[in-house]
Amino acid sequence: MNIRLACLEDSQSIDRYIERSDSASFYHKYAWGEVIENSFGHKSYYLICIDDNGSLGGILPMVHLKSLIFGNFMVSMPYFNYGGVCADNEVDRDHLIGEAIKIAKGLDARHIEFRQEESFNNGFPYKLEKVSMRLHLSRSQKELWNSFSSKLRSQIKVPQKNGIYARIGGIEELDNFYKVFSVNMSHLGTPVYPKRFFRNILEKFPHCTSICSAFQDEIPVASGFLVGFKNMLEIPWASSLRKYNRLSANMLLYWTALQFACEKGFTVFDFGRSTPGEGTFKFKEQWGATPSPMRWHYWLQSDGAIPEITPRNPKYRIAIELWKKLPIPVTRFLGPHIIKNIP
């Protein structure tokens, strides 16, 4: 067995491993390191485990983040819901984790966050506060439509009666997506990702990514970023403009995305990460989505509590309220410099 850092020449072997691994996600692809470095400037470390036959037996991508405000740490993978270590067995998995810890110590990182779905069962502390909301799709749009409650079907019809329409496209829809996304993030008090981040994703993965937007008179009022991989279509980022909430454009947005998923043959629709009991959880639940646990494990350099680099941390509350009051152009300019260090 040999554990080493991957290079570009390993990318095809990594892709083949991802295709056959049940625990690997789209975000385990080697190319994400380039996307993140070009978008945020962070260095990535991609570990691979090679067995005695020369075949891959496990993979672990990581990104190093370091700032004065949020500290020095590593994440697999930041900005996304999925990541972590994938291996054929626990021995290979533990060797990959051990090598990751050596790298983290060499960088003086205070912790590593592994965004797993399955449990390590190795003594690492972990969080279970987030879930992925997933809907198993019917074979046809008609079957899916008929599975909805009459109330939900009525809500989907509201925006159509108000002249809202939706379409799905590629990079040509980026400006529409970002207009809605950046305004919504400002209202939430959250710094916004730079537009180049989404452009880099669309350019690197043109066959796996798309944008769904809802419009009123060619004005984008709701928009979501779609990622399709294996049997699942995911919507990791979705936003709508509050001033148009009465038109329920987000209902048409999600229905259009679900129709697209059925049309393309996906069998699962991932509504994204939620906290049970909160508003977004209930919104996704009404579509028939059910929670799938997310087990984020942590290696900590020293004893202490699991880090809370999230908007839910009380020490960021004042900053969030102040951010909400800033003009949109200011948040678009300053946001990327801050959010790059928030995983």
pLDDT category at 314 given cuts 50, 70, 90 is low
Using CA atoms, how far apart are residues 206 and 195, in angstroms rounded to an integer? 16
Q: Is the dihedral of CA 127, 129, 130, 135 positive or negative?
A: positive
Asked whether residue 233 is domain-assigned, the answer is: yes
Confirm whether pTM is higher than 0.85: yes
Asked whether residue 338 is domain-assigned, the answer is: no
Is there a single domain that holds both residue 126 and residue 168?
no
Q: What value does the mean pLDDT of the chain take? A: 91
The domain that holds 113 is classified in CATH as: 3.40.630.30
How many independent structural domains does the chain possess? Answer: 2
Residue 187 burial (CB count, 10 A): 14
Is there a single domain that holds both residue 205 and residue 85?
no
Asked whether residue 322 is domain-assigned, the answer is: no
Q: Is the pLDDT of residue 310 over 90?
A: no
Is there a single domain that holds both residue 146 and residue 169?
yes
- Beta pairing, strands 56-67 & 71-76: antiparallel
Asked whether residue 343 is domain-assigned, the answer is: no
Instruction: Please name the residues in contact with 179: beta carbons below 8 A apart, sequence gap of 6 or more.
Output: 220, 223
Is there a single domain that holds both residue 281 and residue 191?
yes
Asked whether residue 326 is domain-assigned, the answer is: no
* Average of per-residue pLDDT across 74-78: 96
- Tokens, residue 42: 């962070």
Comparing 253 with 331, the larger pLDDT belongs to: 253
Is there a single domain that holds both residue 143 and residue 270?
yes
Using CA atoms, how far apart are residues 133 and 280, in angstroms rounded to an integer? 10
Is there a single domain that holds both residue 187 and residue 284?
yes
Instruction: Please name the residues in contact with 267: beta carbons below 8 A apart, sequence gap of 6 or more.
Output: 136, 137, 231, 232
Is there a single domain that holds both residue 280 and residue 301?
no
Classified as helix, coil or strand, 331 is helix
Angle at alpha carbon of residue 84, lines to 82 and 89, rounded to 5°? 125
Q: What is the pLDDT of residue 233?
A: 97
Parent domain of 68: 2-130+295-307
Q: Is the pLDDT of residue 323 over 70?
A: no
Using CA atoms, how far apart are residues 317 and 208, in angstroms rounded to an integer? 36
Instruction: Please name the residues in contact with 290: beta carbons below 8 A apart, sequence gap of 6 or more.
Output: 133, 134, 135
pLDDT tens digits along 208-226: 999 999 999 999 999 999 9
Is there a single domain that holds both residue 36 and residue 102?
yes
Asked whether residue 54 is domain-assigned, the answer is: yes
Of 94-98, 219-223, 334-338, give the lowest mean pLDDT range: 334-338
Is there a single domain that holds both residue 284 and residue 299?
no
Asked whether residue 119 is domain-assigned, the answer is: yes
pLDDT tens digits along 103-135: 999 999 999 999 998 888 888 999 988 899 999
pLDDT tens digits along 12-48: 999 999 999 988 999 999 999 999 999 999 999 999 9
Is there a single domain that holds both residue 126 and residue 137?
no
The share of the chain scoring above pLDDT 90, in percent, equals 72
Taking Cα atoms as reference points, which of 100, 5, 92 lies closest to residue 46?
5
pLDDT tens digits along 250-309: 999 999 999 999 999 999 999 999 988 888 899 999 999 999 999 999 999 987 777 776
pLDDT category at 161 given cuts 50, 70, 90 is very high
Is there a single domain that holds both residue 212 and residue 281?
yes
The share of the chain scoring above pLDDT 70, in percent, equals 97
Is there a single domain that holds both residue 26 and residue 154?
no
Partner residues linked to 266 by β-bridges: none
Comparing 245 with 168, the larger pLDDT belongs to: 168
Torsion angle in degrees (nearest 10) through CA of 79, 81, 85, 87: -140
Asked whether residue 220 is domain-assigned, the answer is: yes
